Structure 1
Amino acid sequence: MSPLGKAYIEKLYAALSKMPEQERLDAVREIESHIEEGISHGQREADILAKLGDPSKLAKAFRSEHFSHPGRKRTWGETFAMIGFYCTTGLLSVMIVPVLATIAYGFGFCTVLILLAGIIRSFGATWINMDLGPYYTVPTEWSMAFSLVVGGIVGGIAYISRKYLRKYLRFVSERYQDLLPADRK
């Protein structure tokens, strides 16, 4: 491999720094073998590197693939790295990901609190207020029904936000994975 190819591989390796070392090495080896295979089939190394594109974008594609595996157990560090990855994929992601995540998980937590408040107030806790306006307070015997309705609305908003957050993250991952070499797909 020429110095140009080695420099490309070094940039790719550096850009993959947020991935676990074994997966980082696997990605680099894969690209090295892709380059060597192309050269053995008569392609010029410069053409192969041009097709692969910018090493930092290729690294994002590998990181996207790494983070998008469903059902994988993640450490807290990997979770924060994944959040950082998706928030840095573009200006739109900087707005969409935090807003939808806050709505989804904040409203989900509030749903639980609303339902608990309805249960506790049903048993006579007068310190929990359920007002529909300045002049009307929900009667104690209607507390559970009221909390089910309000909790259902808030929970529905949380569910929809979470659903569309997952769709958006899947969409971003797929776009980045389109940057991977064709033999990888």
Structure 2
Amino acid sequence: MIQAPTSKQMFLDQLRAGLKGLPRSVIEETVADYEAHFEAGRAAGRTEADIASRLGDPARLARELRAEAGVRRWEDERSLSNALGAILGIMGLAALDLLVVLPVLLAVGSCVFAFVIAGAAVCLAGSLLLPFALIDLTPLSGADWLQGVLLSLGLASGGASVVAFCVLLTIGIVNLLVGYGRAHYRLIAPTHTA
């Protein structure tokens, strides 16, 4: 178990270790900010141990900063990897809520995934039927040529619509999770004054 920091160097070392994996410039800027907190506290006559305790747990600060960095990447560029980074960062931050958020997230994610697979299958079926409809070899007996073409186009576009809706729903879910994480971060964030 990591002991609570009692000095400036111990605090900064633990913070730097918790930020490992973030861009070097972000780490250095963050460490410089917290060094400034120590300098301001020392100028006010506080001890390093007092300043470190007021700043809070450096591992928790690192988790909060990692979550915020993940959220910023998601907001800057909407991609699957950035969405996963934001979700993992927020879930790491909200570890106590993991038992509530994770099952709901898994259930919703499973449903969305099932709809994506079903929509893709319907779209593929419609796309595969289209060439047969064009040469009038559809398995629908008694249907005329135009009905077969329209049916296959309808299946393909309907399946594509389901997939597109699921993508939009996924973006909305990630945005809700980011909003939840931000609200959670504001509620549990300690005052960072030295």
TM-score with structure 2 length normalisation?
Answer: 0.64
Q: Where in structure 2 are the equivalents of 1:47-86 lying within 5 Å?
A: 47-69=50-72, 70-72=75-77, 84-86=88-90
Of stretches 144-153 and 54-63 in structure 1, the one that deviates more from structure 2 is 144-153
1:33 aligns with 2:33: no
2:154 alignment counterpart = 145
Q: Alpha carbons of 1:101 and 1:16: their partners in 2 closer, same or farther (altered >3 Å)?
A: farther
Q: Relative contact order (alpha carbons < 8 A, sep ≥ 6): 1 or 2 greater?
A: 1
More helix by share: 2
Q: CA deviation at 1:39?
A: 2.4
Q: Distance in 1 between matches of 2:130 and 2:177?
A: 40
Query: Is the 8 Å Cα contact of residues 15 and 56 (structure 1) preserved in structure 2?
Result: yes
Could you tell me which of 11, 16, 19 is aligned with 2:19? 16
Q: CA deviation at 1:104?
A: 5.0
Q: Distance in 2 between matches of 1:79 and 1:150?
A: 24
Q: Distance in 2 between matches of 1:22 and 1:103?
A: 40
Q: Alpha carbon RMSD of aligned pairs, Å?
A: 4.0
1:120 aligns with 2:125: no
Q: CA deviation at 1:73?
A: 9.0
Q: CA deviation at 1:8?
A: 1.1
Q: Alpha carbons of 1:80 and 1:5: their partners in 2 closer, same or farther (altered >3 Å)?
A: same
Structure 1 runs of 4+ aligned residues shifted over 6 Å read none
Runs of 5+ unmatched residues, structure 2: 140-146
TM-score with structure 1 length normalisation?
Answer: 0.66
Could you tell me which of 147, 158, 168 is aligned with 1:159? 168
For 2:7, what is the secondary structure of its paired residue?
helix
For 1:68, what is the secondary structure of its paired residue?
helix
Amino acid at match of 1:8: F
Query: Is the 8 Å Cα contact of residues 54 and 192 (structure 2) preserved in structure 1?
Result: no
Q: Distance in 2 between matches of 1:117 and 1:106?
A: 16
Q: CA deviation at 1:124?
A: 1.8
